[in-house]
A and B are shown apart, each in its own frame.
Chain A
């Protein structure tokens, strides 16, 4: 009851092509995250799905019906915005009920759905308040509640956590994950934060410059990125890229994640000096300036004492080293 097909969708603003032919299939109940750097077109794609922007060409199919020419309210979608976008003049209850009221749903049914949604999001004490009287986290829960009461085929989230502070972000992330488990609804979520993408998604769509770079599960993207961009975007700290020629390799670029490097004080593949050490408690990030490999990051689990200026040897795990060709694609 909530599948989505995007067929060759293109979007241009004047001469600027923002989406360059997107094809995507989302099955019922999936949690799909669009992730990419700012300006990659992920928000535009979400707006095209919502019907807030018309695509220049291509089709958007929700539940088997082509909705390319259907207004947003009739597409069976609900959207949660980054800036909450609550109606300032309405109470929490009326904010949540407005969409249903516009659709002509009977009052009793509206009340029933608001009751369910507000207990799910623990919003009952605030139903008669106006948005101005709520905190940021509460406002975003109201915005989510407004989406839930519509019982849409498709939930759309446009960077819903970006305006919240770090602690609330983790909480709300958890709430969204639980919501997905309870409702089993199809959700599409846009973010630039790869942590949100990794933790929430069944399927991640990595976008860059208006094109899909790779689609896959979080671990799939982590373990077998299709190209240099995905490899660099997924994972934190970022993957180290070393010029293949400097290492005497045939590949254009060699990639190795910081956590797949080991360090030793006496011997190893790449000799380097410690530039900086970040002690995070659970792990330690070392920045090494290596003779062969240039500046690289090494992530060591647990505490590791290294003074800036000390000489260390870093050794990549050969099984977890990626080789990229001149076009940026992974060499098998």
Chain B
């Protein structure tokens, strides 16, 4: 370690700040996971202590697995999230490519229009969306959720990806054109691999709000068949009695899939396989 750029008090200070922040950020998550393994008495008696042999209880998980169709809810959440993510990335990247690559009348206006959704929350349109779904017979289907989430994710995706696509070398795309590649091949084979890190960024930002959303599942697809995990967990929140064991267990389980998806995408963020293409 060179002393010219780092000093011990500075290093300690930086680490102290980072560790504090990590502790604050992780505290609620750890609290949820910890208490999900405790009995009801244990949760209320000493909420901040880890499970001891006396308070350790899997009753929460047993309830979740036993009562309600939780595996099915998970499946629904996963289908909705993955499908929406797929469409957001596909259409977002294609729109971004068109905006950054082709000169046409109204290009920048179109870009602005597509990015407008970043500033206007899609929930403002809930009533209209519900009417639309009723009219098209899509209420209580996962399709309804996928459509809404795709619309919700697109503005940010187009905005971020078009910035990144502008940085892809024109020469590379032109080389492909001279070699007779179609515009689709150029997009899928040359451009997409080069913007993979930014795709991963968009994927992470898009995925988490979808997975956690309660609003649209509650309004558009509240049926037993189409319940998502967040909606399913509401089952245990009663007006008079709340089954805390089951809620905490359900939440702990709900963290897992997003965590796995996040790990997959963050690997892509780090990987620098694209260097050496140009320059």
- Which residues of A are interface residues toward B (Cβ below 8 A)? 47, 50-52, 71-74, 77-79, 81-89, 98-99, 102-103, 130-134, 136, 146, 158, 163
Contacts and interface: CB of A to CB of B under 8 A. Distances in A.
Interface in B237-279: 274-279
B278 A73 contact: no
19 contacts: A50-B174, A51-B177, A72-B174, A78-B178, A79-B174, A81-B174, A83-B169, A83-B172, A86-B277, A87-B172, A87-B176, A87-B277, A88-B193, A89-B189, A98-B181, A99-B180, A132-B276, A134-B276, A136-B279
A18 B193 CA distance: 33
Contacts of A71: 177
B180 A73 contact: yes
B180 A130 contact: no
Given A52-B177, A74-B180, A88-B274, 18 more contacts: A50-B174, A50-B178, A51-B177, A71-B177, A72-B174, A78-B178, A79-B178, A83-B171, A85-B174, A85-B175, A87-B176, A88-B277, A89-B193, A99-B178, A102-B180, A131-B276, A132-B275, A132-B277
Nearest to A143: B175
B194 interface: yes
A71 B175 CA distance: 13
Contact of A85 (B193, B275, B276, B278): B278
Contacts of B180: 73-74, 99, 102-103
B179 A99 contact: yes
A136 B278 CA distance: 9
Contacts of A87: 172, 175-176, 189-190, 277
Contacts of A72: 174, 177-178
Contacts of B277: 86-88, 131-132
Given A71-B177, A99-B178, A82 B171 contact: yes
A56 B169 CA distance: 24
Nearest to A100: B179
Given A50-B178, A72-B177, A73-B177, A81 B276 contact: no
Nearest to A132: B276
Contact of A88 (B171, B177, B276): B276
Contact of B181 (A50, A78, A102, A158): A102
B279 A98 contact: no
A132 B175 CA distance: 17
Nearest to B190: A87
Nearest to B277: A88
Contact of B172 (A85, A102, A134, A163): A85
A88 B178 contact: no
A47 B179 CA distance: 15
Contacts of B172: 83, 85-87
A71 B169 CA distance: 20
A163 B279 contact: yes
Contacts of A134: 276
Nearest to A52: B174
A166 to B, nearest CB: 17
Contacts of B274: 88
Contacts of A146: 175, 179
A191 to B, nearest CB: 16
Contacts of A47: 174
Name the residue in B176, B178, B179 with the highest tally of chain A Cβ atoms < 10 Å from its Cβ.
Answer: B178
A84 B178 contact: no
A172 to B, nearest CB: 16
A133 B274 CA distance: 12
Interface in B158-190: 169, 171-172, 174-181, 189-190
B171 A81 contact: yes
Given A88-B277, A89-B193, A163-B279, A102 B174 contact: no
Contacts of A99: 178-180
A99 B172 CA distance: 13
Q: Which are the 9 A-B pairs with shortest beta-carbon distances?
A: A132-B276, A73-B180, A88-B277, A99-B179, A102-B180, A85-B171, A81-B171, A85-B175, A83-B278
Contacts of A86: 172, 175, 277-278
Contacts of B193: 88-89
A132 B194 CA distance: 13
Contacts of A78: 178
A271 B151 CA distance: 78
B92 to A, nearest CB: 22
Contacts of B178: 50, 52, 72-73, 77-79, 99
Nearest to A136: B279
A81 B179 CA distance: 13
A170 B105 CA distance: 44
A77 B190 CA distance: 21
A50 B174 CA distance: 9
Contacts of B189: 87, 89
A112 B163 CA distance: 42
B279 A88 contact: no
A158 B174 CA distance: 12
Nearest to A97: B179
B245 to A, nearest CB: 51
A79 B194 contact: no
Interface in B126-182: 169, 171-172, 174-181
